[in-house]
Amino acid sequence: MSPTSELTQRTLTARGFRGFVPFRELPGSNVPTGHGIYVVIRTDASPPSFLPTSPAGHLKGRDPSATADRLGDAWVDGATVVYIGKAAGRDGLSQRLADYRRHGTGLLAGHWGGRYVWQLTDSDALLVGWLPMTEDDPTEAEQDLIDEFKELHGGALPFANLRNNTRKAPDAETGIDH
């Protein structure tokens, strides 16, 4: 997929992404149960502000909070997409996004990746969109979208994507598998 335009709700919808609902509305949004990829977007173009600590749940005893400097360094000016993820294995889109939402509310959930979004002061306004896939493993589609983002933004990863490869490797910052 070669980048032809910014990754926005409009361009992603044209590619088949659906949903684009706030996290709090996920339970009633008929998220598909199969595999796929998903994005978290921020429609507000103003500079972000960050909470001093993350409201997200701790995982394996680790605090999900990052410093304001680390968050600021990860921010990508002009980007709408703040996280790109996948639902593979036994977790379909519905379960994976439910875990992500629960993690953001402070509950224990197996979704450590993308945790920076919960320190945005406007995280309640973020929108989640998903693209169901028929492939058994959506890893390649996730990596293609991350690569497209990087090409559009000078090599930077989306704000809450803390690593580039999509293999199950420990997070460089924490040593925790995603």
pLDDT in tens, 24-56: 999 989 999 999 999 999 999 899 999 999 988
Q: What is the pTM of this model?
A: 0.87
User: What per-residue confidence (pLDDT) applies to 96?
Assistant: 92
User: What per-residue confidence (pLDDT) applies to 107?
Assistant: 80
Rounded CA gap, 1 and 153, in Å? 16
| 37-41, 63-67, 144-148, 152-156: least confident range | 63-67
